[in-house]
């Protein structure tokens, strides 16, 4: 074997191996991440929200819907879920049409006095979405839970959630959707410019 051929083999094999790993990773990418990235949800925020829940669970602490929705969506609202709709007024756009990344704001009821918030992760049809949220099942997170619009006026004022597989539960009233990318949000973060770091030779003192 020539030196040139041996060198090409040594260089080519690692790159081929990396390429195969990359292809395998794409082929086996989790459906969760594919949905998030294609839907436009910030995967870093979403991962952070999930990680925070994992940390709380490992400590035996309570998991709540509000911190998860705030972390996953980027909607910077605090307080009980039933206050989010009014708090969003003048800061974020609100509406009755679901969109990916929007926060679904539930009304307070006797059964659910503090309300609830969930983040839309995918729009299936005009009357069905998937949501990611926390503490719908006590101290747990639920990803890609189906929610259907059952309102008489098709305006997403009443919904049912698929808490159990192929089974939709009780009807819950919602106020609507809070959209995180609104220009009304006075403190909307500006995406930082990319920073490139280069390895430079050490300077002589």
Is 64 found in the same domain as 1? no
Residue with the bigger pLDDT between 108 and 181: it is: 108
Residues 6+ apart with CB under 8 A from 202: none
Using alpha carbons, select from 161, 150, 174, 138 the residue that is nearest to residue 64: 138
Q: What SS3 state is found at 161?
A: strand
Is residue 193 a part of any domain in this protein?
A: no
Could you tell me the pTM of the whole model? 0.69
Q: Tokens at residue 60, please?
A: 């035996």
Number of domains, the chain: 2
Report DSSP letters for 163-178, one per residue: -BTTB---EEEEEEEE
Judged against a pLDDT cut of 60, whether residue 188 lies above it is answered with no
Which pLDDT score is estimated for 40? 54
Using alpha carbons, select from 175, 148, 177 the residue that is nearest to residue 82: 175
Q: Tokens at residue 24, please?
A: 């395998």
Is residue 192 a part of any domain in this protein?
A: no
Q: What's the CA gap between 202 and 92, in Å, rounded?
A: 49
Q: What percent of the chain has pLDDT over 90?
A: 62
Judged against a pLDDT cut of 50, whether residue 205 lies above it is answered with no
Length of the chain in residues, anyone?
A: 205
Is 16 found in the same domain as 104? no
Is 11 found in the same domain as 80? no
Q: How far apart are the first and last CA of the chain?
A: 47
Judged against a pLDDT cut of 70, whether residue 130 lies above it is answered with yes
Q: Which domain holds residue 145?
A: 40-179
């Amino acid at each position: 074997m020539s030196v040139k051929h041996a060198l090409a083999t040594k260089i080519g094999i690692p790159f081929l191996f990396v390429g195969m790993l990359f292809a395998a990773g794409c082929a086996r990418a989790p459906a969760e991440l594919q949905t998030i990235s294609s839907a436009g949800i910030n995967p870093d925020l979403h991962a952070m929200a999930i990680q925070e829940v994992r940390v709380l669970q490992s400590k035996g602490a309570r998991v709540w819907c509000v911190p998860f929705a705030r972390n996953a969506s980027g909607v910077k609202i605090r307080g009980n879920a039933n206050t989010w709709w009014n708090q969003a007024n003048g800061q974020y756009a609100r509406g009755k049409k679901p969109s990916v990344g929007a926060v679904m704001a539930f009304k307070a009821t006797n059964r659910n006095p503090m309300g609830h918030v969930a983040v839309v992760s995918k729009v299936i049809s005009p009357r069905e979405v998937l949501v990611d949220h926390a503490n719908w099942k006590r101290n747990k997170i639920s990803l890609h839970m189906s929610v259907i619009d059952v309102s008489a006026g098709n305006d997403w004022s009443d919904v049912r959630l698929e808490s159990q597989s192929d089974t939709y539960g009780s009807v819950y009233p919602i106020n609507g959707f809070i959209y995180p990318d609104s220009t009304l949000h006075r403190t909307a973060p500006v995406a930082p410019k990319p920073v490139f770091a280069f390895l430079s030779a050490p300077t002589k003192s």
